[in-house]
Amino acid sequence: MSSDTVSTKAEAQARVNDIAAFRRELARLEREGAIPLDAGQLAALAAHQDARLAALSAGFDIDRDARSQQLSLGMKVASFLGALALAAAVFFLFRRFWGVFPTTMQVVLLVGAALATLGLTEFVRRRDRSGYFCKLAALVAFACFVLNIALLGQLFNITPSDRALLPWAAYALLLAYRCDLRLLLVAGILCCGAYIAARAGTIAGIYWLSFGEWPENFFPAAVLCFCIPWLIDQRRFAGFAATYRLCGVLGLLLPILVLSNWGAASYLEWPSSRIEGMYQVLGFLLSAGAIWLGIRRGYGETANAGVVFFVIFLYTKFYDWWWDVMPKYLFFLVIALVSVLLLLVFQRLRRSAGKGAMA
């Protein structure tokens, strides 16, 4: 793959990582005498790779070694904390001086803050190759927009509505795709999921603010979120498809976990014990299905989430069955033995997946 085919920072970083891994393995093979290359061949290969690295560095902000990657992680943490601090500063600034301004000035300030932070985000995006400052500005812009909608509603005494979640979701998704920011993608997914859950609750006859009391309201949004990477191509955006799938799995299995232990929260007019038993079985089946799908399609986040929830469902059942009837030392001994058994099963699955990849 030449540098001309690299269109995203993630692809450029993957190429750099591949070159570094190739050089390490080539050095081992030379020490072992497996590839007897002469000095001219090695020099030509190194020159070609150096040219590719220079081209990638000129086009993208990449990490060429492990030290740079560690510093990049620190920069990500710093930009995230800085964005949270700036968003909090904006919120408390408005709260501190809000009552001093007349109504017209309040409207101008709210709209102006939202537009100014959006313009700042676009300005920074065009000049920030690293993306860290752009992400910081985008998070502040989203916070200002949420504050804008919320305070305008209070200012004009508008009845709170779940429809406010739609512009929040649209704005978060716009900034997420524009700035390649997964944190805002998650914010947009949460807003969309909350709106769909609120609509589902309203159809069922409950007040929209009570949608969280009925976990089944989240099922439609979770299924839709999981299917989005298959419906809309996400390959241009690093990690977006995995984020959709992970949010979908969590949005489905978390409510099932709640219902498997609290059947009274279900819409079903069955005895609580029957509802809990049904959702316990469903939880095992869906978490096992997530593991199978994740291994088969190479979705690491889906497989890992399935493993976590399968173990949680399993240990929850052990607690229900044996905590009150077993001595505590025997209960924890059984848990330890089951953990060893699960390790053996997952080890065998991993070996099978590795053989399939090598075939």
Cα separation, 100 vs 93, whole angstroms: 12
Q: What is the largest CA-CA distance in the chain?
A: 81
DSSP annotation of 161 reads -
Q: Do 106 and 14 fall within a single domain? A: no
Would residue 122 count as lying in a domain? yes
Cα separation, 132 vs 134, whole angstroms: 5
Per residue in 225-263, pLDDT (tens digit) is 999 999 999 888 888 999 999 999 999 999 999 999 999
* Nearest partner of 311 among 277, 332, 339, judged by Cα: 339
Q: Do 45 and 76 fall within a single domain? A: no
- The backbone torsions φ and ψ at residue 190, rounded to the nearest 5 degrees and listed phi first, read -65, -40
Cα separation, 4 vs 27, whole angstroms: 28
Cα separation, 123 vs 130, whole angstroms: 14
C-alpha distances in angstroms, 119 versus 107, 134, 135, 169, 355? 18, 11, 13, 19, 51
Residue with tokens 């700035």: 179
Q: Do 23 and 131 fall within a single domain? A: no
Q: Do 60 and 75 fall within a single domain? A: no
Final residue in a domain of this structure, among 14, 41, 64: 64
Final residue in a domain of this structure, among 126, 158, 190: 158
Q: Do 213 and 310 fall within a single domain? A: yes
Would residue 355 count as lying in a domain? no
Cα separation, 213 vs 46, whole angstroms: 61
Q: Do 50 and 81 fall within a single domain? A: no
Q: Do 151 and 262 fall within a single domain? A: no
Q: Check if the beta carbon of residue 290 is closer than 8 Å to that of residue 305.
A: yes
Q: Do 184 and 292 fall within a single domain? A: yes
Q: Do 240 and 134 fall within a single domain? A: no
The range of the structural domain enclosing residue 5 comes to 1-64
Q: Do 237 and 121 fall within a single domain? A: no
Total residue count of the chain as it appears in this document: 359
Would residue 163 count as lying in a domain? no
DSSP annotation of 218 reads G
User: For residue 254, how far is the Cα from the chain centroid?
Assistant: 15
Cα–Cα–Cα angle for 100, 101, 106, rounded to 5 degrees: 140
Tally the domains of the chain.
3
Would residue 1 count as lying in a domain? yes
What stretches of the chain show up as alpha helix (H) in DSSP?
9-32, 39-59, 66-97, 103-127, 132-155, 165-179, 182-203, 219-231, 240-259, 272-297, 300-322, 328-358
Would residue 347 count as lying in a domain? no
Cβ within 8 Å of residue 10, ≥6 positions away: 238, 239
Residue 243 one-letter amino acid:
T
Give the residue ranges of the chain where pLDDT is below 50.
1-3, 358-359
Final residue in a domain of this structure, among 64, 82, 99: 64
Residue 61's pLDDT is what?
65
Would residue 348 count as lying in a domain? no
Would residue 352 count as lying in a domain? no
Residue 65's pLDDT is what?
67
Would residue 110 count as lying in a domain? yes
Residue 189's pLDDT is what?
96
Per residue in 103-131, pLDDT (tens digit) is 888 888 888 888 999 999 999 888 876 67
Q: Do 312 and 194 fall within a single domain? A: yes
Q: Do 307 and 221 fall within a single domain? A: yes
